[in-house]
Homo-oligomer: A and B are copies of this chain.
């Protein structure tokens, strides 16, 4: 058990993802030595976020309202529903400026080896959402990793069973790439999906 408030702070910082014992110590020393206002700011920001950030009742993303701004926006196309893993992925898609439909945010992806299956990523909520009678196409935009592909596959099967049209983001050569430096699996997919 940590026996001083400095050790308690180091322990609490270690809980952050990607922060080990040395980084936590460095962070604690930095805050106490050089940035006490920053430490208090962070403390308040944590409190406020825990109190006020909840999940959108329609798309499951983080929001401070019962329904998020995108879901409430009448200018969005309610026939398209794009499934992403995280709010960060959603933000990335928004920045492209090329999608005007709605979203469903899984807040994770399936990882059977870690015991995270369809239930844990809230697949049934997604099905309820997609079967609202308005959505006509679900675009799966999970990651192109083994886990993201598995998630996409399972969701795709479940949605198709219920008669919903399902598409997946195209795989292919990234913009600005020279072919010589693109990995072979990407090129193989780009060949198959050529248009």
Contacts and interface: CB of A to CB of B under 8 A. Distances in A.
B107 A49 contact: no
Interface residues of A, number: 46
Interface in A36-53: 36, 38-50, 52-53
A42 B9 CA distance: 7
A49 B32 CA distance: 8
Contact of A12 (B6, B16, B38, B87): B38
A98 B36 CA distance: 34
Contacts of A107: 33
Interface stretch (A23-31, A141-149, A172-180): A23-31
A74 interface: no
A88 B25 CA distance: 8
A44 B47 CA distance: 9
A41 B11 CA distance: 10
A9 B39 contact: no
B41 A15 contact: yes
Contacts of A31: 16, 46, 49-50
B17 A30 contact: yes
6 contacts: A9-B46, A12-B41, A15-B38, A25-B88, A32-B53, A39-B49
